Every structure is written in C-alpha cells, then in structure tokens.
Amino acid sequence: MSKEDMYKGVLYILNIVYAVFGLASAATGIWFFVQLSEFVSLRNTNHYLLDYRVYWPQVAPWLFILLGLFIMFVAFCGWCGANRESRGLVGVYGSFLVLIILLQAIAAVLVFVFVDGEDTDRFIKDTVYDGYYNSQQNPDVFKAFGRIERKLKCCGANDARDYRSWRNDLPLTCCFDSYYRATCDFTDKEANERLGCAKVASVYAKIISSSVAGVSLVMILVEIIGCVLAWKLFGAFEEVEHYLPEKKEGETEC
C-alpha cells in the first residue's frame, strides 16, 4: 500500500468521525433550543418582549447547530476530494478545516468565559421565576411547569417553600421520582429537600454547554490531524491537464 492510499484511508475514517461529531453537535443544539423554548414559553409575554437583551443560552444552541451543519458539509467535501483525488477539493477541505478549528476554539472559549456569568444566572432565574408566578394564574402554565419539575426533579422556583404562600400542600410534581412514583404519600420531606427549578436548570445548562465546549476542544486535536493529511494529499495528487491537440494542416475541428 502506498503512502497516498494510507493517507486516503485515514482521511476517510476521520471524515466519518467529523460527520458524526457534526451531527451530534447539531442535534445537541436543537435539543438545547427545544428545552430552552419550554422554559421561555412559560414566561409572561409582556415581560419577555420588553427584555431586548440577548443572553448566551439563547445564542449557544444556534452556534452548535450552525457549526455542526458546517462540519458535516466539510466532512463530505473531504470525502469527495479524497475519493476523486481532486487537489481542488482537498485544498478547499483543508482551508475549511482550519476555519472550523478557529470557530470551534472561539465558541468554546466564549462558552467557558460566559457560562458562569451573572447574566446567565439572571436570565435563567428570571425565566423560571416568571414562569412560576405565571403558573399561579394560568392552569396551562401550571401543568407545563409541573412537567419541568418532574423532568428536573425540582420543586418551585426557589424551593418547595414557594408553594406555602398560596397552597396547603405541595403538587404531586414535586413528589415524583425517576419512575414517576409519588413519594409524598405519607410525608413531603423529600420534596422539601429538593432544590428549586431555577438552580437546577442553571446547573444543567452549564454542564451541557461546558461538556459540548470541552468535546469541541478535543475534536480540534483530531481536526489538526485532518489538516496535516489534507496538506500531504494536496501535494501528492497531480493536476490533470486537459488540452486540445494541435490541429494538423488540413484538419477541421471536428
């Protein structure tokens, strides 16, 4: 097996890895957006529309989605370039791969810098609190907030004491365990010990974002290998020159 064939084989495998990572990144962004929308939909519409600021939890899903789609496109470009032995496609692939490395590094740094910021905590806290207080007057919002409590195993906005001001007991959504079994049949001790949904949602958002950013940094090392292989293949592939033979005297173009 020649070095060129070996480079192509490794590049095939790397492009599959890139495509899988791009798909996972885009899927994570979509999932993150859906989860965020579930919280935002509980807010009082007038309060939400008056807040013109953009917070990183609103931007991060789109970063993951767009970057994931771009990575899949570049992986396909690299696959075609290696398969067709095209210097042009391999050159474009290598250039795009460098761009992806820069974008991933910038996105990861931004997430790590702003993930623990006060603005992030304020956005999540305000969103959950607004949804909680809106649930007191709107039965549909109350049911939706209950689904969040079951999913995150939390109770109230700050804690279970939030319900004491307007209810005599805790809702069952504060009592369900992993198997959706009620644990407040005889005592609500476990529900009272649960954290508020604002705190739990903030922690989960930070864990998910930091995990994706960390994986992106690891993928940069793999993508650097792809850049090296693309450069070697670019030098190995020979340009095929297409030219018309010179016409002999008396010959027509046909």
Whole-angstrom Cα Rg for the chain: 27
Length, in residues, of the chain: 254
Region 175-204: mean pLDDT is: 73
Among 52, 34, 71, 47, residue whose Cα is nearest residue 220: 71
Place of tokens 């994986």: 215
Q: By percentage, how much of the chain surpasses pLDDT 90?
A: 20
How many whole angstroms separate alpha carbon 212 and alpha carbon 206? 10
What percent of the chain stands above pLDDT 70? 83
Residue 126 has pLDDT above 80, yes or no: yes
Mean pLDDT estimate for the chain: 81
242 has pLDDT over 80: no
Instruction: Of 31-35, 58-62, 231-235, give the range with the top mean pLDDT.
Output: 31-35
Each residue's pLDDT tens digit, 133-147: 888 888 999 999 999
- Residue 252 has which token pair? 């027509």
Is the predicted pLDDT of residue 178 greater than 70, yes or no? no
Q: Mind listing the pLDDT tens digit for each residue in 90-100?
A: 888 999 999 99
Which residue pairs from 9-12 have beta carbons closer than 8 angstroms and sit at least 24 positions apart in sequence? 10/225, 10/229, 11/78, 11/82, 11/226, 11/229, 11/230, 11/233, 12/79, 12/82
Predicted confidence band at 68 (pLDDT cuts at 50, 70, 90)? very high
Other CB atoms within a 10 A radius of the CB of residue 146 amount to 16
Q: Is the pLDDT of residue 39 over 60?
A: yes
What confidence category does residue 47 fall into, taking pLDDT thresholds of 50, 70 and 90? low
pLDDT of 149 over the 80 cut: yes
More confident residue, 76 or 50: 76
What pTM does this model have?
0.77
Judged against a pLDDT cut of 50, whether residue 245 lies above it is answered with no
Residue 27 pLDDT greater than 90, yes or no? yes
DSSP code, position 185? S
Average pLDDT over residues 215-239: 84
Local structure of residue 240 (DSSP, 8 states): -
What are the CB-based long-range contacts (under 8 Å, 24+) for 41-46? 41/144, 42/127, 42/130, 42/131, 42/132, 42/134, 42/135, 42/141, 42/144, 42/145, 42/148, 43/127, 43/130, 43/131, 43/134, 44/130, 44/133, 44/134
Going by pLDDT thresholds of 50, 70 and 90, the confidence category of residue 52 is: low
- Give the residue from 72, 75, 67, 71 showing the smallest Cα distance to 107: 67
Extract the tokens encoding 65. 């989605």
Give 249: exposed, middle or buried? Use CB within 10 Å, 0-12, 13-18, 19+: exposed
Q: What mean pLDDT comes out for the span 168-192?
A: 69
Residue 241 has pLDDT above 50, yes or no: no
Structure-block tokens of residue 78 = 């690299």
What's the pLDDT at 101?
A: 92
131 with 156: CB under 8 angstroms?
no
For the residues of 138-176, what is the DSSP string, one character each? -HHHHHHHHHHHHHHT--SSSBGGGGGGT-SS--GGGTB
